[in-house]
């Protein structure tokens, strides 16, 4: 950097010249030093270096299990509806929904699966499974388990793809 300054004839010009010279020296100091960030010391928190988890991804989750009537009667079927929501920021791809219903002794009384061809857009909630379930003649506590499996896309939080609900059958 070449600095051309007229010879100072007044105080104001001398101050401007001095300020320009100091600015020139400070910029040279910054150019000579290496101010790049270094690796953290070993006692610091380790940073995530994997780009797979920090990318933009969908996050499908089971948002609700609905039973109608609210308290089913033994020997009569009840309607089971499952809802999912995309809480990610990118639309989902195809996904499978597996639903099982077990009675109080652990025996499976219903199993159903469906494949969804329609994507859920960010923030969208959709009904992903609906069936009429015959619970048998045994009253007691029944457990409804739901598992959503992504096909062809990576889910950012697979822990919220599985849920269960316990209902009382009278």
What count of other Cβ atoms lies within 10 Å of the Cβ of residue 60? Answer: 29
SS3 state at 22: helix
49 within some domain: no
Expressed as residue numbers, the domain containing 85 is 60-169
Confidence of residue 29 (pLDDT cuts 50, 70, 90): confident
31 within some domain: no
Task: Report the predicted TM-score, pTM, of the whole model to 2 decimal places.
Answer: 0.63
125 within some domain: yes
Q: Is the pLDDT of residue 145 over 90?
A: yes
Question: What residues contact 96, with CB distance under 8 A and at least 6 apart?
Answer: 113, 114, 115, 116, 148, 149, 151
**β-strand partners of 65:** 82
Domain count, the chain: 1
13 within some domain: no
Closest by CA to 81, choosing from 115, 146, 127, is 127
94 within some domain: yes
Q: Among all chains, which residue has been given the structure tokens 């920021």?
A: 89
Q: Is the pLDDT of residue 130 over 80?
A: yes
CATH of the domain at 87: 2.60.40.10
Helices (H) and strands (E) in the chain, counts: 1, 7
Average pLDDT rounded to a whole number, residues 107-121: 86
38 within some domain: no
φ/ψ (deg, to 5) at 109: -105, -15
Confidence of residue 132 (pLDDT cuts 50, 70, 90): confident
d(CA 91, CA 83): 16
């Amino acid at each position: 950097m070449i600095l051309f300054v007229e010879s100072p004839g007044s105080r104001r010009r001398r101050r401007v010249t001095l300020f320009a010279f100091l600015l020139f020296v400070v910029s040279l100091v910054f150019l000579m030093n290496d101010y790049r960030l270094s690796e953290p010391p070993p006692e610091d928190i380790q940073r995530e270096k994997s780009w797979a988890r920090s990318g933009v991804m969908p996050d499908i989750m089971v948002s609700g299990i609905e039973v109608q009537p609210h308290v089913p009667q033994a020997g009569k079927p009840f309607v089971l509806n499952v809802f999912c929501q995309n809480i990610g920021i990118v639309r989902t791809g195809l996904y499978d929904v597996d639903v099982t219903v077990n009675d109080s002794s652990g025996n499976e009384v219903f199993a159903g699966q469906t494949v969804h061809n329609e994507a859920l857009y960010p923030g969208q909630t959709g009904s992903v499974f609906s069936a009429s379930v015959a619970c048998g003649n045994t009253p007691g506590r029944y457990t409804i388990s739901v598992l959503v499996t992504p096909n062809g896309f990576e889910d950012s939080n697979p822990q919220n793809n599985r849920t269960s609900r316990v209902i009382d059958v009278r």
